[in-house]
């Protein structure tokens, strides 16, 4: 049997759109997704789940109503469920997200930046 | 409020023992762990959960009864639940594991390499 590792750089090369996470792996009922962020996202929260951000390349700020988390390459952060947050990246950054399958990128907020949540690459 | 990112390199610098995963983050009922692998681990499986391996630095081979997965830096693999596997690293490698809180590193096998599963760093 052939067991193929998932190469993050190869997967990142497969898309260029911003704020549109792509699924690369499933663990039980969780998805590992890659995304490219640039500019401002929308304020939103996920009522039922924590959400993991891992900065693979570049820098991202996750704003909260009472502060912010700043992540550079090789850093991660767990946004607690229910906590309003707004990612922001001055330059394009590459992010891995880990969250339950079916999680919507804009959470409870909706709007124009809501992406398909079932695209595998 | 101060929100502090988790820096993987800083966390990796906090321990040197092999085959002894340390918890760095929790997302819902899952743990993100760092580990250093060198040499041969034991054949084992996890009856109730998939297990994610992400190679942060170095190379690891995950042997299966009918093949192997080879991961180098920046690659990941999801070991399906119930599938017997044995990690092997010729040189020390640095790994991130993602799995349910409470998962035992040696799974159903037990033995001398069984590590504490609740150590945070």
Q: How many angstroms away from the CA of B24 is the closest CA of chain A? A: 10
* B111: in domain: no
Q: Which residues contact B11 (CB under 8 A, 6 or more apart)?
A: B22, B24, B34, B121
State whether ipTM is beyond 0.90. yes
Q: What is the CATH number of the domain that holds A81?
A: 2.60.120.10
Residue B86 lies in a domain: yes
Nearest Cα to Cα of residue A23 among A32, A12, A10: A32
Do the domain assignments include residue A30? Answer: yes
Tell me if A28 and B50 make a contact (CB, 8 A cut-off): yes
How far apart, in Å, are the Cα atoms of B68 and each of A81, B34, B71?
37, 22, 10
Are the C-beta atoms of residues B118 and B100 closer than 8 Å to each other? Answer: no
CA–CA separation, A79 and A64 (whole Å): 10
The span from the CA of A85 to the CA of A52, in Å, is 12
| Conformational region of residue A107, where left means phi above 0, alpha means psi within -120 to 50, and beta covers everything else | left
Q: What is the pLDDT of residues B42-81, one digit of tens each?
A: 999 999 999 999 999 999 999 999 999 999 999 999 999 9
Specify whether the CB–CB gap between B63 and B70 falls below 8 A. Answer: no
Number of domain units in chain A:
1
Instruction: Report which of B109, B112, B107 is spatially closest to residue B79, judged by C-alpha positions.
Output: B107
A25 in any annotated domain? yes
**pLDDT tens per residue, chain A (121 residues)?**
889 999 999 999 999 999 999 999 999 999 999 999 999 999 999 999 999 999 999 999 999 999 999 999 999 999 999 999 999 999 999 999 999 999 999 998 999 999 998 999 9
Show residues of chain A in contact with B26, CB under 8 Å.
Answer: 50, 78
pTM above 0.95, yes or no: yes
Residue B120 forms part of a structural domain:
no
Q: Which of A81, A51, A95, A83 is nearest to B1 (CA)?
A: A83
Q: Residue B53 forms beta bridges with which residues?
A: B77, B97
Residue of A nearest to B81 (CA): A28
For residue A2, being part of any structural domain is answered with: no
Distances (CA, A) of B37 to A18, A72, A117, B85: 35, 25, 34, 14
Does A117 fall in a domain?
A: no
Answer positive or negative: Cα dihedral of A30, A26, B34, B85. Answer: positive
Q: Domain of residue B29: give its range.
A: 17-100
């Amino acid at each position: 049997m052939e067991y193929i590792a998932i190469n993050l750089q190869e997967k990142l090369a497969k898309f260029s759109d911003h704020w549109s996470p792509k699924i690369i792996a499933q663990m039980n009922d969780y998805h590992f997704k890659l995304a490219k962020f640039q500019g401002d996202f929308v304020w939103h929260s996920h009522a039922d789940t924590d959400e993991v951000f891992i900065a693979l390349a570049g820098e991202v700020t996750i704003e909260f109503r009472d502060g912010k988390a700043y992540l550079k390459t090789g850093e991660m952060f767990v946004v607690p469920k229910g906590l309003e947050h707004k990612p922001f990246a001055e330059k394009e950054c590459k992010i891995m997200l880990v969250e339950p399958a079916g999680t919507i990128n804009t959470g409870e907020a909706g709007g124009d930046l809501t992406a398909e949540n079932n695209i595998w690459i």
